């Protein structure tokens, strides 16, 4: 009888990590979930997510700071996972302007500690979260993984781009198969309170004004959480291999390492005002709109080229904005009893 595979997930109490852990447990994995439960947003929300995971007999939770030397080394030595999924990070463009050191510690030093642990206890596949913000000031749309991406516009984006470069060097030096995900504006139930959908929903239900940046002239490739998790789940089974010849056109596979960058997005940008209208429809209320200029470090538009993703794992589900927002608003009303 074959033993269940072990997946090691960092950021397991986070929005994406929680949903991914649930999916892996459903699929029969043994899951080791690590989170620091930092106070960047409501720790109660993180505890509630983790409590749901802890109810599952195949889940083992650990509270640890990634950047603490030796913590991840000990956990990987103990559990010897076949798959490592690194989703823990200090997130948020705005916060990186106020507290850049948090990003240095969690994103760069934390990722370094994980890479060192994986070098000693190599998994069959390492999958690490990056961001569409890595494309920075690029204006050619949709963003393709093979595009040059050297103009990051926030320190958050800069730290995530740095982790891509770090992971590439470890993939090359130690033959670690690494897939980097560039996520595009993820939303859905149990989402982060610092994200637009959460803020819009809370404000509309409380009758408060909604802050709309760049006077609403923005577009985002909003990606529903279940679609994102489906993509990650399928990519687990497609570890990159060091190329033996020329890399196929349109593939971001490194010419010298078992390393690949993959966009995970819906592949269809949505106007910010259409998003606001979807929240209005789901809540049954009108927003009081407070139009503001663009925020520092932000970009006017994102749009994922998803051709490489679909070439690797097949056609992907694409939840529409109205269905996704409806699901979030129902969760929000239920969780906060409003």
231-270 pLDDT, tens digit each: 999 999 999 999 999 999 999 999 999 999 999 999 999 9
Residue 180 lies in a domain: yes
Q: What is the pLDDT of residue 110?
A: 97
Residue 132 lies in a domain: yes
Residue 276 lies in a domain: no
* pLDDT, tens only, 272-281: 999 999 999 9
| pLDDT band (50, 70, 90) for residue 3 | confident
Residue 202 lies in a domain: no
Q: What is the pLDDT of residue 95?
A: 80
Query: pTM for the full model?
Result: 0.97
| Residues with catalytic roles | 156
Burial of 245 (0-12, 13-18, 19+ CB in 10 A): exposed
Q: How high is the mean pLDDT of the chain?
A: 95
Q: Which helix H or strand E contains 264, and what residues bound it? A: strand 259-264
| CA atoms within 13 A of residue 191's CA, in its CB half-sphere | 29
Q: What is the DSSP letter of 9?
A: E
Residue 136 lies in a domain: yes
CA distance 292 to 208: 15
What CATH number did the domain enclosing 111 receive? 3.40.50.720
Residue 291 lies in a domain: no
* pLDDT, tens only, 82-139: 999 999 998 877 788 889 999 999 999 999 999 999 999 999 999 999 999 999 999 9
Planar angle of CA 26, 16, 135, nearest 5 degrees:
135
Tally of domains within the chain: 1
Q: What is the pLDDT of residue 295?
A: 86
Structure tokens at 80: 């010897």
Task: Give the residue numbers spanning the domain of 54.
Answer: 6-187+221-266+304-318
CA distance 41 to 25: 26
Residue 337 lies in a domain: no
In this model, does residue 1 exceed pLDDT 80? no
In this model, does residue 319 exceed pLDDT 70? yes
Residues 6+ apart with CB under 8 A from 68: 113
Parallel/antiparallel/unpaired status of strands 219-220 and 186-187: unpaired
Q: Which residues of 170-202 are buried (b: 16+ CB within 10 A; e: fewer)?
A: bbbeeebbbbbbbbbbbbbbbbbeebbbbbbbe
Residue 27 lies in a domain: yes
- Cα–Cα distances (Å) from 18 to 107, 154, 224, in that order, read 19, 26, 14
Least confident of 37-41, 50-54, 62-66: 37-41
């Amino acid at each position: 009888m074959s033993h269940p595979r072990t997946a090691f997930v960092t950021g397991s109490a986070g929005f994406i990590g929680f949903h991914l852990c649930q999916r892996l447990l459903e699929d029969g994995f043994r899951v080791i979930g690590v989170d620091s439960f930092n106070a960047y947003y409501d720790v109660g929300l993180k505890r509630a997510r983790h409590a749901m995971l802890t109810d599952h007999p195949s889940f083992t939770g650990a509270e640890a700071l990634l950047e603490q030397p030796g913590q991840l080394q000990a956990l990987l030595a103990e559990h010897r996972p076949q798959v490592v999924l690194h989703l823990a990070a200090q997130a948020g463009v705005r916060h990186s302007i106020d507290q850049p050191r948090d990003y240095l510690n969690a994103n760069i030093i934390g990722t370094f500690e994980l890479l060192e642990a994986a070098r000693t206890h190599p998994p069959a596949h390492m999958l690490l979260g990056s961001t569409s913000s890595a494309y920075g000031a690029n204006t050619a749309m949709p963003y393709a993984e093979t595009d040059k991406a050297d103009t990051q516009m926030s320190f958050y984006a800069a730290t995530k781009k740095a982790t891509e470069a770090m992971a590439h060097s470890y993939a090359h030096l130690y033959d670690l198969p690494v897939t980097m995900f560039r996520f595009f504006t993820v939303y859905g139930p149990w989402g982060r309170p610092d994200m637009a959908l959460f803020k819009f929903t809370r404000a509309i239900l409380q009758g408060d004004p909604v802050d709309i940046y760049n006077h609403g002239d923005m577009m985002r490739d909003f990606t529903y959480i279940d679609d994102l998790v489906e993509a990650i789940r399928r990519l687990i089974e497609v570890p990159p291999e060091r190329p033996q010849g020329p890399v196929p056109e349109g593939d971001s596979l490194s010419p010298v390492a078992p390393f690949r960058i993959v966009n995970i997005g819906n592949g269809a940008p949505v106007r910010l005002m259409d998003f606001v209208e979807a929240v209005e429809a789901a809540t049954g209320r009108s927003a009081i709109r407070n139009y503001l200029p663009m925020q520092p470090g932000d970009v006017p538009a994102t749009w994922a080229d998803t051709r490489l993703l679909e070439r690797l794992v097949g056609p992907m589900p694409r939840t529409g904005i109205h269905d996704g927002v409806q699901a979030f608003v129902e969760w929000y009303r239920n969780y906060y009893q409003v």
